[in-house]
Amino acid sequence: MTAADARRAPRTRSKGTESELAKKRRARKADRLLAAAHPDAKCELDYTNPLELAVATILSAQCTDVRVNLTTPALFKRYRSASDYAEANPEDVEAIIRPTGFYRNKAKSIIGLGKALVEHHDGRLPEDMEALVKLPGIGRKTANVIRGNAFGVPGITVDTHMIRITNRLGLVDGKDPVKLEFQLQKLVEPREWTMFSHRIIFHGRRVCIARKPACGACTLASICPSYGEGPTDPAEAAKLLKGDNVEELIRLAGIEDAVNR
């Protein structure tokens, strides 16, 4: 083990042996470190109101946010209200949203959403979790995205990045999204829930990548029991970093010298 490795090696107990208080402290420290590493973390879908965010989130299933954002301007221009969607011709909607994939099912969900909103909610998107999850195309994950970003109600979004990274960090155990959401609610400060979700997603895209996490260039290394799941050599790990703030990530991880050697 090199001196740099020794400095960065985790001081965290192995998974399953940590007290709840220690885990809570570590979760909050992780959130602070992530806030410094990803100050630009935010919802990457373009929208101007709750309905647009709900539609964009439905379209984002199995599709990148970039592609959704290329598709939604034409959709939002043509369909401006819940009743516009309720009365839409499925083939017209399908033609616009086709690039996002699974377009028949997505069109069905969006039109169904419009109809349900007109029928039960005066054409407006409800804020309430129970009401949201009864709407076509909207599960807990989408409901948390809508509540957190369009209504300012804190919510933890459990997607594939959240499942992978919180398990690697040993903050949760398992893959059931609803159980994880409740486990994480106990660890992270409520006012941070929405931003914690964005930060974890950014970390998952840029550093703690699914196949090969950049452990040697990760600012969470000292508090992560999975440190070593990816390369720990700083120069090798730095090559895995993605996104437009790679230099800052290297600086925050304290590995500039090793990378520039």
Active site annotation includes 141? yes
Which stretch in 14-22, 126-134, 180-188, 215-223 sits in contact with ligand SF4 by CB under 6 A?
A: 215-223
CA atoms of 97 and 74, how far apart (whole Å): 9
234 binds ligand SF4 (CB under 6 A): no
Nearer to ligand SF4, 138 or 250 (CB): 250
Judge whether 9 and 223 are in contact, CB under 8 Å: no
DSSP code for 225: T
CA atoms of 37 and 247, how far apart (whole Å): 11
- What token pair was written down for 168? 């690697």
Judge whether 250 and 256 are in contact, CB under 8 Å: yes
160 binds ligand SF4 (CB under 6 A): no
Active site annotation includes 115? no
In whole angstroms, the minimum distance from the beta carbon of 225 to ligand SF4 comes to 8
Q: Give residue 111's identity as a one-letter amino acid code.
A: I
Sign of CA dihedral 209, 69, 246, 148: negative
Angle between helix 50-59 and helix 65-78 axes, rounded to 10 deg: 130
In whole angstroms, the minimum distance from the beta carbon of 224 to ligand SF4 comes to 3
213 binds ligand SF4 (CB under 6 A): yes
Which stretch in 49-57, 122-130, 164-172, 175-183 sits in contact with ligand SF4 by CB under 6 A?
A: 164-172
CA angle at 130 for the pair 127 and 132, rounded to the nearest 5°: 50
163 binds ligand SF4 (CB under 6 A): no
221 binds ligand SF4 (CB under 6 A): yes
Is position 224 annotated in a ligand binding site? yes
Q: Name the binding residues.
A: 208, 215, 218, 224
Binding interface with ligand SF4 (CB under 6 A): 165, 168-169, 207-208, 213-215, 218, 220-221, 224, 226-227, 229-230
